[in-house]
Amino acid sequence: MKRSLLIVGVILLFIVPGGFAKDKLPSKKEIIQSMTRVCDWQLTNLKTEYLRKDGKTDRVPNTDWVRGAFLTGLMAQYYTTQKQMYLDSAIAICSRNNWECGRRSRHADDLTVGQTYLEIYRIKRNEAMMLPVKQRLDAIIAQPMRGPVVGWEGNKNWSWCDALFMAPPVFARMFDVTKNMAYLDTMNILWTDTYNLLYDKTEKLFYRDTRFCPKPDGTQQLSVNGKKIFWGRGNGWVVSGLVRVLQYMPVNYPARGKYEQVFKEMCEKIATLQGNDGLWRASLLDYAEYPSPETSGSGFFCYAMAWGINNGLLPAKKYLPVVLKAWKGLNWAIDAKTGMLGWVQAVGADPRSVSADETQEYGAGAFLLAGSELAKMAK
């Protein structure tokens, strides 16, 4: 009831004289049309490898975080459209994995696909869909390996900000499935370690990893224009990961207030950094270094703020114009002929330049997540 009243109020703002937003909320039909074009193109263009800008090749197995991030959007497409073909596509990909996560037992990236396994399990209630990821999380609970770990290769803890999208939502969904508080408690311990390691309490943003944090002598790596380096998509991973944890965290969970506070702080800062075209840049504080728009981070920001409005954590009057402007910018980035979402920064660990013909699956995933929340607002 609360959500229904909020959404009705948001819609009324566009028919009452003096409405505040310049960009009109699209109809649900229009939103789904955009989502479907992007989703269908991506489904027919899934790749087994990508050529990086440095000339190296990245493999993309079905258990990889790249595919895992797209699968989160594919499930959002299914929930929004209720078309069985999208659920069937997700099940087909996950079945080829035998419902196993990636090969590295603790690595957050290799847990990402577990989010989709558990969402499908909630629909199908087939134990085989959740047991492998449960065994993986149970092993982490048994040996959580506390403390900040510098670096991000191998079986390391969550010492890079992307990890906060990849792993914590898996723990939150496993809690939802089992009602075992140990999953949330362990997640909270490891999430807090990463927060303490990488969050800049002044800027209200996360560094990608410790290479960009201030050093003990007060120096730190800066952009070419002398700005602190905060990666757009990196912070998109974090704020969207917060959404995907809060979705399943009980309102009376002792640490929930901390997650809500960081979510609100980040959204407030991120909103101030939006470009005139509605999109954000790869380097959040130094648009001059990489002036091109970047759509994967922008999609995640749009998703997070729209979810915050829909769930009463962010005031619509302040944030809806930001969301609508972002959605308009994201739609501008869709290729009119194919439905491909362009301007997606390639796989990497820091801000990079990007162009219109660059795309990646996680960009489509972010777009679909954003669209799913806008569709909840629309008629």
Q: How far apart are CA 200 and CA 212, in angstroms?
A: 11
350 belongs to the catalytic site: no
Q: How far apart are CA 191 and CA 348, in angstroms?
A: 22
Angle at 318 between CA 272 and CA 248, to 5 degrees: 95
Q: How far apart are CA 230 and CA 273, in angstroms?
A: 12
CB atoms closer than 10 angstroms to residue 193: 19
For the packed helices 232-246 and 168-178, what is the interaxial angle rounded to 10 degrees? 10
Would you say 110 and 63 are in contact if contact means Cβ atoms under 8 Å apart?
A: yes
Question: Of the listed 109, 162, 209, 286, which one is catalytic?
Answer: 162
Q: Taking the alpha carbons of 171, 269, 225, 342 in that order, is the dihedral positive or negative?
A: positive
CB atoms closer than 10 angstroms to residue 132: 16
Bridge partner list, 281: 293
The residues that are catalytic are 162
